Structure 1
Amino acid sequence: MEKIKSFYYDKRSQVVLFSSIAIALYGYDQGMMSLINTNNDYLTTMGIGAESPQVGVIVSVYYLGTAVGAVIFSLMADRWGRKPALFWCLATASLGNLIMFVAGLGYSRGALAVMYMGRVVMGLGVGGVDSVVPIYSSELSEDDARGKALAQEFQSNIFGLNMAFAINLAVTVTLGKWNQWAWRVPIICMQAYPLTLLLIFERLPESPRWFISHERHDDAKKSLVAIMGEEDGKKKFEELTEQASNESDASVGYKDMFTPGHPQFHPTMIVVLGQVNQALTGYGAVSVYGPQIFELLGYGVRKSEYLTQGNYVSYFILMTFAWLLIDAFGRRTLLVWGSLALTICFALLTLFGGLAFNSDEYGIPTDAVAIPGIVTLYIATAAFGIGWLATVWLIPTEIFPTTARAQGTAISVIIWGLANFAVTLLTPILFNNLNYWIFLVFAATNTIAGVTTYLYVPETGGRSFEENQEFFDKARDEKTWRVGKIDEGEHKYLPYPKPGGEEGESQPLLRRVQDQVT
């Protein structure tokens, strides 16, 4: 009872819980469609075949919605505040989910169009979640703990993915693939997320940085006092006010951010590069088409579904290493090593997939190649989760000034949406035409992602927002984007404290929920 009472008044824990559940909503959708795509009643209701390109289009059109939603809700977050934007993007995602649920319910004509509309509307809302939550979280975290904060929230993203696939699998096994409730139940269960979020929404603080950027200093001070207490809140207020006075108050538009020569053009291109490279890792395809990948390795449908669930559980557990390592080794290090591990894993999967595909011809037992293939895919999942899942969402929140942070994070979601639209649209086509050679394609694209990250992406961890912006000023002065050639390569690594210097990591403004429990 004491802990419940404490949580009721603890703004920090409430923000952490809210952000984590909101990110879990995004993960739930990733896992939701994987088994719905193979439900016979769903395919019949939509009037499409199992190998129809429409299967991939229904999945991928959602990502176009996220791109548009990121713009709409980031503008709202910048103009009216982080909290109002979060409320409306959650309401939009909930509405889209309801539209999907009623698609073809008691009728058949027009069911496909309703499903498309539901996917787009839900994409609008989730795009808003993806663009606003990282800003909200990062603006309430200290410089040395931003990575840990967001990585822990993205671990809840994998919890959402696990929950969606587990519900899907349970109802599919129980009801069968010809029962409409085997695909409608997983859809409507997503409503648990927005309803839970609304229960704690009113008690959340608004971002003090947003208040200060809009010259609402009294509100900023009240918000900080509510979060940190009287003494620490006033001290933090003075610090944030001083930082804000050093920033340019000129508004930054989307056109400015894509204009060569503008101060925000270089950081915008880093954001674009990060999200394109994340799509090139191929893991958007793995999360949506996991069962089909295990089938490529030689197993039947049901065993492949169980193996996919096991992969997601492993994914969730191993994501712990992401928030343990991201502020210790840095974003850039995790990205580069993640790409290297993924390149090796996908190269091995090409070999194991080829042997499994030709096992009858060569007399190879299925398990002899499928088991090492499964282990390799599990390792690849861990490499993506630790290296690429949270990092590319974190960097945009660290490299822009307050006047451009919402737009920068929105651009991140837009590029993520467009890139994943292309990947999820092409994946079923590639599966049908390339079979196991699709893994070799992913090995090549991961190599590209790793090399370009090593050359051009700076280390943003352990530095203040202002210090990260100085990197781009120096790059402009030295007329190069190569990280190793700017400031003698200082931004290739975390700025570890020097012996006898100041303390290392500071206590995060948002103490994590698990700290409260322990």
Structure 2
Amino acid sequence: MSIFTVIEDRPTPQQVYNWRVWMLAIVTSCASLMIGYDSAFIGQTIELDSFRSEFHFDQWDEAEQNRVIANIICLYQAGAFFGALLAYPMGYFLGRRWGLWITAIVFTFGAGIMMGANGERGLAIMYFGRVLAGLGVGSGSNLTPIYISELSPPAIRGRLVGIYDLGWQLGGMVGFWINFGVSDTLPEGYKQWIIPFAVQLIPSGLLLIGCSFFIRESPRWLFSRGRREEAMQSLCWIRQLPESDVYIMEEVAAINGALEDQNAKIGMGFWKPFQAAGTNPAVMWRLFIGSSLFFWQNGTGVNAINYYNHTVFKSMGITGSLNQIMSGIFGVIKSTGTIAWLWFLIDHVGRRPLLIWGGVGGSVCLWIIGAYVKIKNPAENETSELDGAGIMAIFFFYLYTLFYSPSWNGTPWVLNSEMFDANIRSLAQALAAASLWLWTFIVSRFTPQMFATMGYGVYFFFASLMIASSIFVFFLIPETKSVPLEAMDSLFKTKPVWRAHGRIMQELQEANERPRVDLQELNECDDKPREEFVERV
């Protein structure tokens, strides 16, 4: 099967798979470039001697230094947690486009404030800038997947939302290698550590320009706000089809039907999703699943590696410049795995198999690495070169990365962007993104203490969580690939979970086969039959 093959829920004109949907996904995914870059650069930049000298780390003992480092890193996640929650009212009242514009503005201010920090002013201004930038990326982590999901044709929705995660990984790869570049080529001093901070302004600037001049508002959001004329213009522009085309008429009919159903079941007001979350067991269950996915994602240990890769590689006996090179290779492998996930795996293999086998394979790798650290204790028995066992540990570390990247890396974002009704999607994404940043905050805050007290047990801890994540997915999460957003309710009601996808796709195929010949002929009909069809839908 070609990477460009699409599995459709109904016959779709080729114009729908046009450059505009890809451009909109790429532009808005600059938000994830900001997140990915920070996760990679910050941990290494604050380890630079130039940074430590600037802020007088030598005046503190090791415990105080670890506390300051953890504060610099985790205040960003704390801001992101609240930013993810604040994105709900922004997305509801202002829309996806202007919400993302505000995201870019807030992050840019935060990044600029960070650059004002130096030894004389102290770290307080750095802390404030980190919180402000976190507010920006938190709201972006909410709004971007929703926006992309709402404009995506079902057959390529996974790939389009996957661009968001690809941006995250590309930003991370750039962050790893920029740190290596400045530490290897620039003399120790102010420029060496300020340049990585300044690079943050590039993706935020691209997002700001894109939101100002290139992207259109989500048609589904416009329909939900009663702005039907604007919604039709936006939908037709994105699909490159006229209003009279059958595909557009069917899509509008499906959106209208979904909105009417949601209005009857939940309501369309700002507080209605909160009421539904508190009173509707089906909604509560899906919110639990969506938020839990990010607990399991952090349970892979990847954020411990992202933010403290220096500490992780040191525990495996890798020090000096080799430590930074290995970190850079880690970023390259993550990006490569994400590209494979984006272009082939997510919309062909599906969500469930990726999460299940990613958890199993990653767990095996971490058990082996933990056993190596336990037996060899390389951190306490440093050598100038790695022996065979050390090379084996590195191999399994990168194999773990290959299992993680095309599975738990981006798939939770795809699932959360597509599994909720339109009227509750923004709130659900806010809670899911807040869950991500909550668990990321916990991991980033306590990883140094975990390595100090648990040693090799850290690897066993995350290995156990990864195998548990596969069990969670198998029994609780149905496959969602190629299922229209408007059919998600039926999907999650179908039992058993592992057979739900096949049954729903069969029902959709049967429903679409019956009228298809007549609908195709309708485009060539005169006005009267067309008017009758419009009246009927």
Q: TM-score, normalised by structure 1?
A: 0.86
- Residue in 2 aligned with 1:195? 205
Counterparts of 1:325 and 1:298 in 2: how far apart (Å)? 34
- Residue in 2 aligned with 1:122? 133
Of stretches 35-44 and 85-94 in structure 1, the one that deviates more from structure 2 is 35-44
Equivalent positions of 1:386-397 (< 5 A) are 386-397=406-417
Q: 1:52 to 1:490 in 2, by over 3 A?
A: same
1:217 Cα deviation from its structure 2 partner: 0.9
- Residue in 2 aligned with 1:15? 24
* 2:155 maps to 1:144: yes
- Residue in 1 aligned with 2:340? 321
1:248 alignment partner, one of 262, 278, 294: 262
* 2:478 maps to 1:467: no
2:146 alignment partner, one of 131, 135, 141: 135
The answer for unaligned runs of 5 or more in structure 2 is 1-17, 514-537
Counterparts of 2:471 and 2:364 in 1: how far apart (Å)? 14
Match of 2:484, as an amino acid?
A: S
- Residue in 2 aligned with 1:483? none
**Structure 1 contact 278–388 (Cα < 8 Å) conserved:** yes
Counterparts of 2:487 and 2:282 in 1: how far apart (Å)? 14
- Residue in 2 aligned with 1:57? 71
- Residue in 1 aligned with 2:359? 339
Spell out, residue by residue over 1:66-91, the C-alpha distance to the aligned partner (whole angstroms, 9 max, x if none): 11111212321121111100100011
* 2:189 maps to 1:179: yes
Aligned pair count?
479
Match of 1:335, as an amino acid?
A: L
1:287 alignment partner, one of 279, 296, 306: 306
- Residue in 1 aligned with 2:165? 154
1:186 Cα deviation from its structure 2 partner: 0.4
- Residue in 1 aligned with 2:13? none
Q: TM-score, normalised by structure 2?
A: 0.83
1:236 Cα deviation from its structure 2 partner: 4.6
- Residue in 2 aligned with 1:456? 476
Q: 1:210 to 1:332 in 2, by over 3 A?
A: same
Counterparts of 1:362 and 1:197 in 2: how far apart (Å)? 45
1:80 alignment partner, one of 88, 91, 94: 94
1:245 Cα deviation from its structure 2 partner: 3.0
**Structure 1 contact 131–413 (Cα < 8 Å) conserved:** yes
- Residue in 2 aligned with 1:422? 442
**Structure 2 contact 316–379 (Cα < 8 Å) conserved:** no
Equivalent positions of 1:201-350 (< 5 A) are 201=211, 202-231=213-242, 235-246=246-257, 247-249=261-263, 250-251=267-268, 253=272, 255-256=274-275, 258-259=277-278, 261-323=280-342, 324-350=344-370
Of stretches 336-345 and 254-263 in structure 1, the one that deviates more from structure 2 is 254-263
- Residue in 1 aligned with 2:34? 25
1:361 Cα deviation from its structure 2 partner: 7.2
Q: 1:488 to 1:160 in 2, by over 3 A?
A: closer
**Structure 2 contact 77–134 (Cα < 8 Å) conserved:** yes
1:297 Cα deviation from its structure 2 partner: 1.5
Equivalent positions of 1:375-414 (< 5 A) are 375-414=395-434
Counterparts of 1:142 and 1:359 in 2: how far apart (Å)? 51
* 2:111 maps to 1:97: yes
Match of 2:77, as an amino acid?
A: Y
**Structure 1 contact 431–438 (Cα < 8 Å) conserved:** yes
1:231 Cα deviation from its structure 2 partner: 2.7
Match of 1:121, as an amino acid?
A: L
**Structure 1 contact 462–494 (Cα < 8 Å) conserved:** no
1:375 Cα deviation from its structure 2 partner: 1.2
**Structure 1 contact 96–118 (Cα < 8 Å) conserved:** yes
Match of 2:332, as an amino acid?
A: V
1:321 Cα deviation from its structure 2 partner: 2.0
1:140 Cα deviation from its structure 2 partner: 1.1
Q: 1:244 to 1:13 in 2, by over 3 A?
A: closer
* 2:174 maps to 1:163: yes
**Structure 2 contact 35–168 (Cα < 8 Å) conserved:** yes
**Structure 1 contact 296–356 (Cα < 8 Å) conserved:** no
The answer for unaligned runs of 5 or more in structure 1 is 1-8, 475-485, 504-518
Match of 2:84, as an amino acid?
A: A
* 2:416 maps to 1:366: no
**What is the RMSD of the two structures over their aligned residues, measured on CA atoms?**
2.6
Q: 1:347 to 1:100 in 2, by over 3 A?
A: same
**Structure 1 contact 83–206 (Cα < 8 Å) conserved:** yes
1:46 Cα deviation from its structure 2 partner: 4.1
* 2:50 maps to 1:41: yes
Match of 2:410, as an amino acid?
A: A
What is the percentage of aligned positions where both structures have the same residue?
A: 23
Counterparts of 1:361 and 1:398 in 2: how far apart (Å)? 49
Counterparts of 2:88 and 2:392 in 1: how far apart (Å)? 44
2:160 is paired with a residue of what secondary structure? helix
Q: 1:320 to 1:266 in 2, by over 3 A?
A: same
1:497 Cα deviation from its structure 2 partner: 6.3
- Rg larger for: 2
1:14 Cα deviation from its structure 2 partner: 2.8
**Structure 2 contact 107–132 (Cα < 8 Å) conserved:** yes
Counterparts of 2:325 and 2:378 in 1: how far apart (Å)? 24
2:262 is paired with a residue of what secondary structure? coil
1:388 Cα deviation from its structure 2 partner: 0.7
1:461 is paired with a residue of what secondary structure? coil
Match of 2:44, as an amino acid?
A: L
Of stretches 59-68 and 222-231 in structure 1, the one that deviates more from structure 2 is 222-231
Counterparts of 2:133 and 2:457 in 1: how far apart (Å)? 33
Q: 1:360 to 1:128 in 2, by over 3 A?
A: closer
Match of 2:491, as an amino acid?
A: F
Q: 1:348 to 1:69 in 2, by over 3 A?
A: same
